[in-house]
């Protein structure tokens, strides 16, 4: 079992030369290019999705590997998800090859395997660079260009992924700050798999009200603050995606609701976490709120 720690960005291929220049300014150990074909499987009633799992078979260089990604967490564009990989023959999943501990006790693996059908596929060229950073840290940068296909519908893929191979997690954010300065780049909390499921199920982002934060009585003040900030950030990014697909003002209104929610929590908890208010991203939050001051949003 491996746990991926990576930061994902959506990007525009119009500015890939700027990306290449940024990467070349680092200490590059190696680079390679691959053509990846991936097929994602589930049952017709989405049994794996209900278990918060994603299953794919990846083919590359005449080899096939099946991967299960289990529930993890996404904060902003930082993705942390345990994954299990097993080599297989052919393009059909063999669930018994995975560690049996990943499955719920009542799960009938053989019956589940028999019900699996392809839901969507992704085909893209992946160019990767292995970078050596400070603190004996290795980071892989992947630049993916291609498409997602489901039921004759297609969506483009143009993404940058930064994955921590080993070392100091802080170095991942140092590199991410440089990538974030590129034109037409933005953090992504939506995976290729989520986009593929939406394409296959013909669903889209719709405007949603801000729900109650999932606080628990057992949480400390610090835990409650972080839970609320993550809750607000998810609401912001969800409606950013919603607006960029539909251009509805209602999506922008909800985006601002998320910004206000985060801002209110910073004010509410300021006496308990005074150092947080000195974080460099706070001014960015204020700037973002001012940028949408022309919108009429609910209190």
Give me the residue spans of the domains in the chain.
2-200, 221-291
Q: 299 falls in which pLDDT band (50, 70, 90)?
A: very low
Q: 190 falls in which pLDDT band (50, 70, 90)?
A: confident
Average pLDDT, the chain: 90
3-state secondary structure the chain: CEEEEEEEEECCHHHHHHHHHHHHCCEEEEEEEEEEEEEEEECCCCHHHHCCCEEEEEEECCEEEEEEECCCEEECCEEEEEEEEEEECCCCCCHHHCCHHHCCCCCCHHHHHHHCEEEEEEEEEEEEEEEEECCCEEEEEEEEEEEEEECCEEEEEEEEEEEEEECCHHHHHHHHHHHCCCCCCEECCCCHHHHHHHHHCCCCCCCCCCCCCCCCCCCCHHHHHHHHHHHHHHHHHHHHHHHHHHCCHHHHHHHHHHHHHHHHHHHHCCCCCHHHHHCCHHHHHHHHHHHCCCCCCCC
Query: Residue 39, Cβ neighbours under 10 Å: how many?
Result: 21
Give the model confidence (pLDDT) of 5-20 as tens digits.
889 999 999 999 999 9
**Does 50 have pLDDT greater than 80?**
yes
Average pLDDT over residues 135-163: 95
**Does 81 have pLDDT greater than 80?**
no
How confident is the model at residue 77, as a pLDDT? 53
Assigned architecture for domain 2-200: Beta Barrel (2.40)
Kindly state the percentage of the chain with pLDDT values over 70.
Answer: 95
Strand 73-75 relative to strand 63-69, pairing:
unpaired
**Number of residues written out for the chain:** 299
Q: 72 falls in which pLDDT band (50, 70, 90)?
A: low
Query: Residue 78, Cβ neighbours under 10 Å: how many?
Result: 19
Q: 218 falls in which pLDDT band (50, 70, 90)?
A: very high
Average pLDDT over residues 163-188: 94
Average pLDDT over residues 226-253: 92
Rounded to whole angstroms, the Cα distance separating 142 from 120 reads: 22
Give the model confidence (pLDDT) of 133-145 as tens digits.
998 999 999 999 9
**Does 255 have pLDDT greater than 80?**
yes
Q: 197 falls in which pLDDT band (50, 70, 90)?
A: very high
How confident is the model at residue 272, as a pLDDT? 83
**Measured between alpha carbons, how far is residue 65 from residues 84, 89, 198 in Å?**
10, 8, 24
Rounded to whole angstroms, the Cα distance separating 56 from 95 reads: 11
How confident is the model at residue 74, as a pLDDT? 60
CA–centroid distance for 245 within its chain:
17
Q: Which residues pair with 121 in a beta bridge?
A: 39, 149
């Amino acid at each position: 079992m491996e746990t991926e720690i990576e930061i994902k960005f959506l990007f525009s291929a119009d500015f890939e030369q700027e990306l290449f220049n940024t990467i070349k300014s680092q200490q590059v150990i190696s680079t390679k290019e691959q053509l990846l074909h991936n097929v994602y499987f589930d049952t017709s009633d989405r049994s794996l999705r209900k278990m918060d799992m994603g299953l794919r078979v990846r083919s590359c260089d005449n080899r096939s590997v099946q991967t299960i990604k289990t529930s993890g967490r996404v904060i902003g564009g930082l993705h942390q998800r345990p994954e299990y990989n097993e080599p297989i023959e052919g393009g059909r999943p063999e669930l018994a090859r995975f560690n049996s501990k990943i499955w719920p006790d009542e799960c009938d693996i053989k019956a589940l395997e028999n019900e699996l059908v392809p839901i969507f596929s992704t085909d893209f060229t992946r160019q990767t660079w292995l970078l050596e950073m400070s603190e004996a840290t290795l980071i892989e940068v992947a630049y993916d260009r291609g498409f997602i296909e489901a039921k004759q519908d297609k969506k483009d893929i143009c993404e940058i992924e930064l994955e921590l191979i080993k070392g100091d997690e802080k170095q991942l954010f140092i590199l991410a700050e440089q990538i974030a300065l590129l034109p037409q780049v933005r953090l992504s909390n939506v995976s290729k798999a989520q986009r593929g499921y939406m394409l296959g199920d013909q669903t889209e982002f719709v405007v949603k009200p801000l729900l109650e934060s999932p606080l628990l009585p057992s949480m400390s003040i610090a835990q409650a603050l972080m839970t609320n900030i993550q809750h607000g950030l998810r609401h912001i990014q969800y409606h950013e995606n919603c607006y960029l697909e539909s251009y509805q003002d209602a999506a922008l209104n909800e985006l601002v609701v998320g910004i206000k929610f985060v801002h209110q929590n910073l004010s509410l908890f300021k006496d308990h976490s005074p150092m947080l208010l000195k974080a460099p991203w706070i001014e960015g939050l204020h700037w973002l709120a001012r940028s949408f001051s022309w919108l009429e949003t609910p209190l």
